[in-house]
A = this chain, B = another copy of it.
Amino acid sequence: MRIKVINGNTFQPMTDNIGEVARSVAAPTTEIVAATPSAGPISIESFYDEYLAIPYILEEIIKDEAEFDAFVIACWGDPGIEAAREITSKPVVGIAEASMYVANMLGAKFGVVTVLERAHNLIEHTVAKVGLGPRCASIQCTSLSVLDTEELRDHACMVLEGAGRKAIAEGAEALALGCAGMSGLDIMLEAKLGVPVIDSVAAAVKMAESLVALGKRTSKVKTFQMPEPKEIRGYPEHMQSASFHA
């Protein structure tokens, strides 16, 4: 089985870390390819960042769709996932949804610890999009930028511990790490906090493997039909929806 794990941003060290974590939990028979989009911001913190990243996250699915069995979008917020499910019938899993499903099986309520305060509404919106609002007890933003999570591991861990304690105080019994850059911090945080801490990338890899093992493909009856063929100005040939129907 081959799974392509697509980093949402264009920061290669984060892609490397994502790939490493993904491989560490993947089944021996699963091949993981971690990819960095060809364009987009080096970190996703604002809605602006997210929207500029999405076309090139999608391009990563388009350009070698036939070579993979499933795709993971490795950015909490699951950017572009509805479109990803339109352009392929192979399973696409977002790390946000996957981490919430896992957390939901381990605690009566879950929490999310994440980056900058400005992301609070984006995170809340992501929880609502997945549909698990009724089980989310707390969203805790911090002073961490996305790159801090990657480059200042000890500091990030300390800050997330504090955020985790606040989430637990508000009723969370399991925590999702709300940024791909936090991948690999789960074990240390779990030891400090005494509750399950979910590495979102790891969770998504297992969900993707599961969908493939179950032989399931994305529904094409309504929302996730292939995009209608039409002219899309300013985008290369392989991103034209007409080419998907070829």
Determine the interface band of chain A, counting residues with CB < 8 A from chain B. Answer: 35 or more
**Is A40 within 8 A of B232, CB to CB?**
yes
- Cβ 8 A contact of A219, one of B27, B195, B232: B195
Taking CB as reference atom, which chain B residue is nearest A228? B45
Contact with B along A222-244 (1 / 0, CB 8 A): 11110110111111000101000
Check A210 for interface membership: any CB of B closer than 8 A.
yes
Tell me which residues across on chain B come within 8 A of A129, comparing CB atoms. Answer: 125
Report how far A129 CA is from B104 CA in the complex, Å: 11
Tell me which residues across on chain B come within 8 A of A46, comparing CB atoms. Answer: 83, 86, 225, 227-228, 241
Tell me which residues across on chain B come within 8 A of A216, comparing CB atoms. Answer: 102, 106, 196, 198
Selected interface stretch from A132-140, A149-157, A177-185: A132-140
**Is A194 within 8 A of B221, CB to CB?**
yes
Tell me which residues across on chain B come within 8 A of A92, comparing CB atoms. Answer: 105
Check A39 for interface membership: any CB of B closer than 8 A.
yes
| Given A83-B51, A102-B210, A211-B102, CB of A128 within 8 Å of CB of B117 | no
**Is B107 within 8 A of A52, CB to CB?**
no
Could you give 6 example pairs across A and B, Cβ below 8 Å? A39-B232, A45-B228, A55-B55, A101-B207, A134-B134, A174-B219
A residues apposed to B, CB below 8 Å:
10, 25, 27, 38-43, 45-52, 54-56, 58, 80, 82-83, 86-87, 91-93, 97, 101-102, 104-109, 117-118, 120-122, 125, 128-135, 145, 168, 171, 173-174, 194-196, 198-199, 202-203, 206-207, 209-211, 213-214, 216-225, 227-228, 230-235, 239, 241
Closest 7 CB pairs of A and B: A39-B234, A131-B135, A206-B210, A108-B223, A107-B219, A46-B227, A47-B82
